[in-house]
Chains A and B, each alone.
Chain A
Amino acid sequence: MDVSQYLEIFIEETKEHLQVLNEQLLVLEKEPENEDTINEIFRAAHSLKGMAGTMGYKRMQRLTHDMENVFSEIRSNKMKVVPKLVDVLFKGLDALEGYLDAILDSGNEGENDNEDIINDLNQILEEGLNGGAPKKEEAKTEEVKTEAVKTEGAQASACAVATEEKKEVSYELKGLTFAEHENKAIAKAKAEKFNVFQATVYIQDSCILKSARAFLVFKSLEEAGTVIKSEPSTQDIEDEKFDLQFSLAIITKESMEQIQKRILNVSEIAECVIGEVATPEVAVEDNSQQTVTKENVKEENNSQANKPSSQAASKPVVNRSVRVDIEKLDDLMNLVSELIIAKNGLVSINSNKDHKENQSGFNEQIEYIEQITTSLHQSVMKVRMVPIESVVNRFPRLIRDLSKKLDKKMELYMSGEETELDRTVIDEIGDPLMHLLRNAADHGLESNEERVRLGKPETGSIFLNAFQEGNNVVIEVKDDGAGINVEKVRNKAIEKGTITKEQAETMSDSDIIDLLFRPSFSTAEKISDVSGRGVGLDVVKTKIESLGGDIEVETALGQGTSFIIRLPLTLAIIQALMVELGTEKYAIPLGNINTIEDIPKSDIKYVQSRECIHLRGSVIPLVRLCDVLDIEREENEENLTVVIVSKGDKQAGLVVDNLIGQQEIVIKSIGKYINNVKMISGATILGDGEVALILDVNTLV
């Protein structure tokens, strides 16, 4: 059987199962007696094994099998959960993830047998069972047994058909009531010497991928004939809205036995009861009716076949995909149809010869199109949104491992996992967050003894909070550790020569903390030891800035530190203010702009020989964009147009020559070749085809 088309489903589900295993193992570690958890783990491991086996990933299957053995013994209370076991199991999960990654990359599981993990597992199993029979053999015989059971089961069920059929037939007929057009189809088929059967298929109750099995049944039957009816409906079967059995009717040329065999060939099918459908008492009527039926049948087939086949990957390497709510797609579809109507409106105006009327109608249509494109933008953005959960759900495991490694007690508290972010941001945000968590665990939290001495609870707490704030999503990584010792950072910075003594004296605490994000700081091993911060923070900052966000630190000595990441909700399209500098045009993202001021030249003050203005109680430094961007400045006007922008609490006034206006712009990258000027975050194409650069306000403030 060609399984490549199920690869995507397999990968999705394997990920889900691994996540479940990870989560549940964490629970199990804390509550070794929790039966629900053990059952949950067992189920996940079992279906993982089954799936890997079906897909032909033998190594993966073998490892899961041995893990499952352990779970099985735990479940039947023959052995206890010990820390060492949990460690090995986690290692096993990591190895499984390794297999999955290999499959993602190349389509096969790779060469690593992970023999050591398997040995460890078996050893623990033996120890746990007090040196019982050598486990490996047992495992093997078990495997053989299950296989035997499988074949036996198949035979048994075949036998069962004969005996049970009578009992089941009445039930079946109840289950399948045919609509009129279906009856007609049946009658027609019968007239054409086709066989019409109905079957009730029972799936083993241990089966987890019920809908997948059902799909395989349908798939196999489609090869033999046409499935005209199923109970529950194909849609419900797809959504797994059925119990362990479903019924269907098929029109085919094959014999009853052949059909039955086809169904039983699908694994994890317990039984199949099959019978002939009596010719309904409907005369074969006009052909038009007939075609309708056929179309219906086709449609049904399509809807049933569509989902898996559209997900099927032609290559083993899997495309990145987003699961999209069908309603969101409907919204999109509606908007697109509206767009087409609007376009037709424009066309009809164009063909209308009366010019005066044209003008007003034209404007109307433009407004209409504007509305639609705005909604379209919002809808597409919604489709791209993914809950942050998919990134953060692996962190509890990370913290657990760190806790073991660093020998510190700590606990991770997460909130706001449902907060949604753009898919591209989600993909990129994982590493920086992991970095910050590591930082918090390693440098932020004090050692157990130190915490006790300070009168803090022995177990350190790390918080990961996500929430939406206006047009931004805020992610906060907080610990209740020692906090950043600003003085030490200051001294180290002077020692390292990053800043001079004089500078150090004038720098505020927050400026000093900002030094931690400097690349030179991250490499300085000593500083990270003393200050407890700074390893690779520049990488985090760069990453977050490349996503259009920014990062801030709040710290209180002895009470902890929090890193606050702000990310824009949307990436691709923003509102911007277009400004003119000399002959060039630049875009300033509207999100950064506070106000626009007209300032007489005489109002400029000088503070430390920098130009500043005094505006409503705050002193705002001026940035001459012309100078910063190497544009020739022509100075003759009395008043300056100043765009006041802000980044966090900081403000700055950007001096521009002219304002053009507000515009919705599409952000494009300027590529990697040009030595990226930090001040430019990208480019956009204006209505006339000209390219305008987008200013990155964060670096200018």
Chain B
Amino acid sequence: MNENNETKDTKQYIVVKLQNEFYAIDIKYINNIVKMQRITRVPKAQKYFKGVINLRGEIIPVMSLRIRFDLEADEFTNKSRILIIKPDNQGVFGIIVDEVKEVVNISDEEIDKVSYDGNVDEKVQFITGVGRLGDNLVSIMNIVGVITDKDKDKE
């Protein structure tokens, strides 16, 4: 295997499409990828939570990344998928993406860290860096930031 010869700080990412941007998610967080299915709405939930789905007997909350990232509302197509994410030490949740493109290797050297000015809590940022993938740029998604609810923590 070639990958074994590469430097240790290369990680595998799954690249997903959202509107016309590309995001990369560390493969270690990804539990499963399932097709769109019926989502049961939960009243009074945060706007970006579409509701819950039944995944083999487990109830899993599903988030719309588009709404979370302030993009246009979702249009579900045949290519829409729900990625089941398992962050470290936290429960499982799902995110809706427009399309799952591919699995890629990106080494840490190819990633430019995003710097934020001091008054923004890093925990709540959605991306940790921007990776170069050939001619394209992909944003490295910060799973913890996506799931951390800023407003909730303030309470």
Within 8 A of A (CB), among B30-65: 38, 40-46, 49, 51-54, 57-61, 63
For the complex, give the distance between the alpha carbons of A668 and B147 in Å: 21
Q: Is the CB of A670 within 8 A of B61?
A: yes
Cβ of A326 < 8 Å from any Cβ of B? no
Q: Which residues of A contact B (CB under 8 A)?
A: 584, 628-631, 668-675, 677, 679-680, 683, 685, 689-693
With an 8 Å Cβ cutoff, the count of chain B residues facing the other chain is 25
19 CB contacts below 8 A, A to B, read: A584-B41, A628-B43, A630-B44, A669-B59, A670-B42, A671-B61, A674-B49, A675-B44, A675-B49, A675-B149, A677-B44, A679-B44, A680-B42, A683-B59, A685-B59, A691-B40, A691-B59, A693-B42, A693-B43
A629, A630, A671, A689 pick with most chain B CB within 10 angstroms: A671
* Residues B59 and A671 in contact, CB atoms below 8 Å apart: yes
Asked whether B134 is an interface residue with its Cβ less than 8 Å from the other chain, the reply is no
Cβ-defined contact, A673 with B49, below 8 A? yes
A277 CB to nearest B CB, Å: 58
Verify if B118 is at the interface (C-beta below 8 Å from A): no
Contacts of B54 in A (CB 8 A): 685, 689-691
Is the beta-carbon distance between A674 and B45 smaller than 8 angstroms? yes
Residue pair B58, A668 in contact (C-beta under 8 Å): yes
Report B-chain residues with C-beta under 8 Å of the C-beta of A669.
59
Interface string of B133-155 (1 = CB under 8 A from A): 00000000000000101001000
Contact status B59-A629, CB under 8 Å: no
Name 7 extra pairs, CB < 8 A, besides A683-B40, A691-B40.
A670-B52, A671-B91, A672-B91, A675-B44, A675-B149, A690-B54, A691-B52
Q: A674 contacts which chain B residues (CB < 8 A)?
A: 42, 45-46, 49, 52, 61
The chain A residue with its CB closest to the CB of B57 is: A685
Contact between A677 and B45, CB atoms less than 8 A apart: yes
| A631 to B40 alpha-carbon distance, docked (Å) | 13
Interface check B93, CB cutoff 8 A? yes
Closest to A583 in B: B41
Measured between beta carbons, the chain B residues less than 8 angstroms from A685 are: 54, 57, 59
B152, closest chain A residue (CB): A675
* B48 → chain A closest CB, angstroms: 10
Q: Which residues of A contact B59 (CB under 8 A)?
A: 668-671, 683, 685, 691
Chain B residues near A693 (CB-CB < 8 A): 40, 42-43, 52
Q: Let me know if A673 and B93 touch, CB within 8 A.
A: yes
Is the Cβ of A691 less than 8 Å from the Cβ of B45?
no
Count chain B CB atoms within 10 A of each CB in A629, A672, A673, A683 and give the residue with the most: A673
Closest chain A CB from B68 CB (angstroms) = 12
Q: How far is the CA of A48 from the CA of B61 in the complex (A)?
A: 49
| Majority secondary structure of chain A interface residues (helix, strand, loop or mixed) | loop
**In the assembled complex, how far is the CB of residue B89 from the closest CB belonging to chain A, in whole angstroms?**
12
Closest B residue by C-beta to A585: B40
Chain A residues with CB under 8 A of B42: 670, 674, 677, 680, 693
* Chain A: minimal CB distance from B14 (Å): 21
Total contacts A to B, CB within 8 angstroms? 71
Interface residues of B in 61-91 (CB under 8 A from A): 61, 63, 91
Q: Given the interface contacts A668-B59, A670-B61, does A584 sit within 8 Å of B40 by beta carbon?
A: yes
Would A675 and B46 count as touching, CB distance under 8 A? Answer: yes
Inter-chain contacts of A677 with B (CB < 8 A):
42-45
How close is B80's CB to chain A, nearest CB, in angstroms?
A: 19
Structural contact, B38 and A683, CB atoms closer than 8 A: no
Are B43 and A630 touching (Cβ within 8 A)? yes
Residues B40 and A671 in contact, CB atoms below 8 Å apart: no
CA distance in complex: A630, B53 (Å): 19
Q: Are B58 and A690 in contact (CB under 8 A)?
A: no
**Shortest Cβ gap from B30 to chain A (Å):** 17
CA distance A629 to B41 in the complex (A): 10
Chain B, Cβ-Cβ closest to A692: B40
Are B49 and A679 within 8 A (Cβ)? no
Neighbouring B residues of A673 by C-beta, 8 Å:
49, 61, 63, 91, 93, 147, 149
Cα A673 to Cα B45 with chains together (Å) = 9
Report chain B residues within 8 Å CB of A690. Answer: 38, 40, 54
**Chain A residue at minimum C-beta to C-beta distance from B44:** A677
Closest-CB distance, B78 to chain A (whole angstroms): 21
Task: Choose from A629, A668, A672, A691 the contact partner of B43 (Cβ within 8 Å).
Answer: A629
- Could you mark each residue 84-104 of chain B with 1 if its beta carbon is under 8 Å from any beta carbon of chain A, else 0? 000000011100000000000
Bound-complex Cα distance A630 to B45 (A): 11
Q: Which of B43, B57, B60 contacts A679 (CB 8 A)?
A: B43
Chain B residues in 8 Å Cβ range of A672: 91
A669–B58 alpha-carbon span in the complex (Å): 9
How distant is B35 from chain A, measured CB to nearest CB, in Å? 14
CA distance A668 to B51 in the complex (A): 14
Q: Sort A-B residue pairs by CB-CB distance and give the 8 closest, nearest first.
A: A691-B40, A629-B43, A677-B44, A668-B59, A674-B45, A683-B59, A673-B61, A691-B54
Closest Cβ of chain B: how far from A688's Cβ, in Å? 10
Q: Are B44 and A691 in contact (CB under 8 A)?
A: no
CB distance from B41 to the nearest CB of A (A): 7
How far is it, in angstroms, between the C-alpha of A332 and the C-alpha of B133 when the chains are bound?
58
Question: Please, how many angstroms separate the alpha-carbon atoms of A668 and B43 in the complex?
Answer: 17
Contacts of A675 in B (CB 8 A): 44-46, 49, 149, 152
A633 → chain B, closest Cβ, in Å? 13
> Which residue from chain A places its CB closest to the CB of B41 in the assembled complex?
A584
- Which A residue's beta carbon lies closest to that of B49? A674
Contact status A691-B53, CB under 8 Å: yes
Q: Which of A670, A674, A677 has the most CB of B within 10 A?
A: A674
CA distance A336 to B152 in the complex (A): 45
Residues of A contacting B53 in the complex (Cβ-Cβ under 8 angstroms): 691
- Chain B min CB distance to A381 (Å): 20
- A671–B60 CB distance below 8 A: yes
A672 and chain B: residue at smallest CB distance: B91
Chain B residues contacting A668 (CB-CB under 8 Å) are 58-59
